[in-house]
Every structure is written in C-alpha cells, then in structure tokens.
Structure 1
Amino acid sequence: MEQLMAATYAPLKADGSLNTGVVARYREFLRANRVKGAFVNGSTGDFASLSTEERKELIDAWADGRPDGFTLVNHVGHTNLREARELAAHSNGRVDAVAALAPYYFRIRTLDSLLTYCREIAVCAPDTPFYYYHIPVLTGADFAMRDFLERAERDIPTFAGIKYSDGNLTDFGACVSYGDGDYRILFGVDEMLVDSLAAGATGWVGSTYNHLAPLYQTLIRLYRKGETDAARQLQEKAVRFVQTLDGQCGFNGAGKSFLREVGLDLGPSRFPHRSLTEEQRAAVMEVLEQLGILPHLSTVPAWPATTPAE
C-alpha cells in the first residue's frame, strides 16, 4: 500500500514549552489531507533540542486516542545509547514502530558498530517493529544499506525496514528489491519523490507532506498513469517551495511557522531554528503565488468545537 507519512513538528507554546494539547488537531489536519501517519520526534521534530522526558510526553500525546489506520512511528535515536534504550522501552507496544538514526557527534565508524547500536535499542522494544533511520548527511554513518539489510535481518529480530533519507537511488533500489519484499523501505528525500518512484518506492516520510500533501498525491497518481512530465513539473514546484522557505530563515523554522497559513499554529521553533517574521511571511506568500504553488497546499478541516486548540 502506498502512503505518505508526515515527519511532524514539535508543537510549542509561546514560552517554548511543549504544547501537547494541539496534537489531536494536528493529527486530524493530517488525516483530512489523506496523510496516513506521523513520524514523531525526528529531525523535523527537533528531537535533538528536546529532553528525553519531553520526547516521551510528545509520543504519549500522539498515541493517546490514535485512530485505527493512522500509522505512528517514534524516533528514539540518541547520542546516548542509554537514553535511546529508555525511549524505545517507553514506546514498546504503544506505537506501530520505533526508529533510530546513528549517533552524530562521536560517529559510528563500522557497520558492526551500527548493528550493535541498533540491536541494543531494538531489544528494549521487543513487541514493536524497528526501523533504521538512514540519514548520512547528518550522522556521517554512510554505509551501503543493502549490506545493512543483509546483516539486520539476521541480527535484529524485530527489524522491519529503513527510513532512507539519502539520494543514493542505486542503493535505495537495491534495498527495495532485497529478498521477497519483506522489509519496508521508506524514502525520505521529499525533493526526489518522483525519482524514487522509478526505483520502486511505495512509502514516503517527509516534512513537506505536512504542507503539500495534495501536490504529492497528484504527482504519484500522474506518474502511475504514465504522465511523467506532469509529475516532474509538480516535483519542481515542491523543490521551489523548499527553496523559497529555506531562503528566508532556514527550512525547519520557516516550514513550521508556515503551517499557520493553512490554519495550524504549532508555535515557535527552538534554537537554532527561527520562525518567519511578518515581512518574510509576506515575501514567501508572494513568491508561492507567482509560482502557482498555493493551490497545492494542504487545507485545514472544519475543526470540531471539542478539539482543543492548545
């Protein structure tokens, strides 16, 4: 089954503390735009700027009242293996899967070390599938994931797949075709979604699926119908969207604050990310209108009166 999963932002109050009360509204926003799940506490969610207790509190809010059919994955990776194990144990049986990226300060140098790290985390959530979060541009753990797969299926009993956030489509394709398709390889580079389709992708995790879900759903449909030129034109719009926001104050902070334009206020970003100023917001909207991107934005549903705003 093909599905988009949003890499979610950590909602904050004006004072910078967590605002878990908005999670129910956030989830309904994604569901209304036919996004099938949430990848929580990842890079988009500023996990490195959250404490372990905050990460627990946030995944608790997402797990509470989660409807059937809405996939929930919690990223539990940490530079401290003991903290990662604690986060995995906390999630055991409460989410559909846990995921972990490699330590990114003192970096892993061998595939053996990476397997040890992943196995130590996975055993703390024995009832929950485990995904490795491959993002070598940030972790420096740049190994062929086809080799990792072969080792992981032997070494990690709960191993389920990879969140593949790298542009190496040859390696990605080799992972997709590995074995009998027993492992789920989720592509994590939004700007290359159209290219991932040719490599066999059927699932995607990304931050811009918060903002542009209708665009990507149309893109996938066009590609599957053989209208590849039209699909690539939509992909270019998505790339320009990222470039426009990134050029203002960096994509993480700008992307989070931009969601206010579609009716979802997730508060400020934690340092070092910055939110859009009013002047920057106006400039972004002008450019997006010129580029013809505004009609492709996700839309806010009619909120129930009982849905908490904060």
Structure 2
Amino acid sequence: MNIKNLIAATYTPLKDDGSLNVDLVPRYNEFLKKNKVAGVFVNGSTGDFVSLTVDERKEIIEAWSKVKSDDFFVINHVGHTSLKVSKDLVTHCADKVDAISTLAPYYFTVPTLESLVEYCAEIAACAPHLPFYYYHIPVLSGADFSMLEFLKLAETKIPNLGGIKFTKNDVIDYRYCKNYKNGKYNILYGVDEMLLSSLPYEATGWVGSTYNHLAPLYYGIIEAFKLGDHTLASQLQTKSAQFVDELNGRGGFNGAGKSFMKVLGVDCGPCRYPHKTFSDEELSEVKKILTNSGIMDYTSKL
C-alpha cells in the first residue's frame, strides 16, 4: 500500500462534559473528503492520545473504521508507554484499519537504535497483514536516530514495514529515506509548515494537523511547485507558517487548532488539560486576524 496526498492527523472530538463525541466522526469524515484529504491518522499527538484512556482510544478508532472506504485511508497510532498496551491496541484494531503506527517509548526512552527496532517489531508482529509505519517525532519521543539507519535495520526485522511518518525538519535524512532501495518505503512527511521543502525530493504523502484546516492551501503549494511557480508556492507556505504561529502563540497549537475547527463547521469540542479551549470571542478575534492576512481564503470548507 502506498499512502499518498494529504493525511489529516485528527482531533479527538469531545462533548462539553469531556466524554467522547463519536457521533461527530461521520461529519468530520465528510468534511475532510470534501477538501480532498486522502485519509486520517487517528490517536496521534494531534488527537491527544496521551490524555485518552485505552478504552477511549479503542472507541474512537472503531468510529473511524465505520466510515473507512477504499479511497480514504485510516491509520491508527498505537503508541504507549506500555508495550503490552500497544500490542493490545493493535490486536483490537487489526481488522478495522489500513495501517498501524507507533512512536518510540517516551518516558523510559530507548537507549539504542537496535532496541527501538526490536520494540517496533513486537508491535508490528501483532498485525502482520497491516503495513507498519514508524512515527518519527524525536522532539516528543526523545528517540533521535537516523531514519536511514532505522530502515536498514528494520527491513530485516519487520516484514510488514510500510514506511515512516517523518516528523522532523531534516530534509537530508528524509531524502535518504525516500531514495532507499529505489523508493521501497512510503515516507510520509510530517512538518506541515515545511511541506514545500519536501517537494524537490519527490514527496507524495504528508501527515499533519493543519491539513484539517488548510487543505486547499497545501494543494495550492503542491500545484504551484509542479507548475514551476516557486514564488507562489513560497508565498502560500508562508501563510501556512503564519497560521501555525498565530495559533501557537495563543497558548499552544493543539488547543488552538482543535478549537479553530469550530470556525470551519466541525466543532470538536473542548480540549483536555493542559491544552486550552478557546472561547467564541477568542475564535472571532483569530478569524478576523486570519481574514485580514488572507489566510481564511485558503481554509477547508464544509
């Protein structure tokens, strides 16, 4: 399986009382598909997986599996501080998703690349029929290894290795991974505000939070690059960075990004601690700023 185009790292919808709102998933799915998003990465950092219970993570992936279709990928992130729990999450979703993914253990961190590969191999083996993607996000996991070396070691240890969700601003290592064995593995770029930097290296798939909000903008970047209009591509990428900076500067991107979904017609509800939930007044202020900067012209539409 070769996952292509924009994959949205989804927010976990909640009701006002803080419980899951799985009834929103069909509307959320329609919204993403309308904006040509090709799939979802569920239970990841954007979805606040560390703030969810195991049962909640199972319930939310069950909801997404019900709207899965041949033209819409569903990837489930199963990472946890407990290997036993991760394996249980894989077993639960093995017949419900298109692929599985995990980041490295993030409290007691892995000491060597070899131990990371062993960890991933145990998880991947729980669903040998599903592509396994390693989630490379060293800023949060603390596992900062060369991904080229990961591929070299993992290809003999993980038969169902599909690729990497590459969430680090390191286009050199990314390029090496893309080119390894003539492009054998599906390397999904995961730094939204740097998507343009991945295009010279023939990136074809991306996973990120802001693909929820700005899918038309990113497809505009890709199209401008293909047409050789690098000035326009750069201008659009700058708008992406401005969007991230504006929201991140208001108490952190996770809470701001989730809250902003309400402006786009997909109310994902409140955030869990420590993320901040925006009031309607705050959202109105942000929308005004983004309108004045021209960014609202590129937001996803319901």
Aligned to 2:267: 265
Instruction: Give the Å deviation of 1:91.
Output: 1.4
- Residue of structure 2 equivalent to 1:194: 196
Q: Does 1:165 align with 2:147?
A: no
Partner amino acid for 1:194?
L
Corresponding residue for residue 72 of structure 1? 74
1 CA distance for matches of 2:34 and 2:155? 36
1:28 to 27, 30, 41: 30
The answer to whether the 8 A contact 2:4-2:38 is kept is no
Moved more, 284-293 or 36-45: 284-293
Is contact 1:93-1:128 (8 Å) kept? no
- Structure 1: runs of 5+ lacking an equivalent: 301-310
Within 5 Å, which residues of 2 pair with 1:31-110?
31-110=33-112
Once residues 223 and 35 of structure 1 are traced to their aligned partners in structure 2, the CA distance between those partners, rounded to angstroms, is 19
Pick one of 5, 8, 12 that aligns with 2:7: 5
TM-score using structure 2 length:
0.97
> SS state of the match for residue 81, structure 2?
coil
Give the 3-state SS of the residue equivalent to 1:154 in structure 2.
coil
Deviation at 1:65, TM superposition (A): 3.5
Q: Structure 2: which 5+ runs fail to align?
A: none
Percent identical: 53
Q: Tell me if the contact between 1:194 and 1:220 (Cα under 8 Å) persists in the aligned partners.
A: yes
- Residue among 265, 269, 285 paired with 2:287: 285
Using the TM superposition, give the Cα deviation of residue 2 of structure 1 relative to its aligned residue in structure 2, in angstroms: 4.1
CA displacement 1:213-244 (0-9 Å, x = unmatched):
00001110000111111001000001000111
Q: What is the deviation of 1:199?
A: 2.4
**Distance between the aligned counterparts of 2:251 and 2:205, measured in 1?**
29
Picking from 116, 125, 128, the partner of 1:126 is 128
Is the 8 Å Cα contact of residues 76 and 100 (structure 1) preserved in structure 2?
A: yes
1:91-142 deviations in Å (ceiling 9; x for gaps): 1132110000001111111001101110110111122110000000111100
Indicate the SS of the match to 1:112: helix
Letter in 1 for 2:95: G
Q: Find the counterpart in structure 1 of residue 158 from structure 2.
A: 156
SS, match of residue 59 in structure 1: helix
Offset of 1:180 from its aligned partner? 2.3
**2: distance between equivalents of 1:69 and 1:2?**
11
Distance 1:246 1:266 in 2: 18
CA distance in structure 2 between the aligned counterparts of 1:234 and 1:263, rounded to whole angstroms: 23
User: How many residues matched?
Assistant: 300
Distance 1:219 1:241 in 2: 15
Secondary structure in 2 aligned to 1:170?
helix
SS at match of 1:261: coil
Q: After superposition, what is the alpha-carbon deviation per residue over 1:250-284, rounded to whole angstroms, capped at 9, x for unaligned?
A: 11011111011111111001111011123321221
Distance in 2 between the 1:22 and 1:167 partners? 33
Q: Does 1:184 align with 2:186?
A: yes
Work out the CA distance in 2 between the residues paired with 1:2 and 1:75.
18
Structure 2 distance, partners of 1:31, 1:96, is 17
C-alpha RMSD of the superposition:
1.0
Q: Within 1, Cα distance between the matches of 2:236 and 2:252?
A: 22
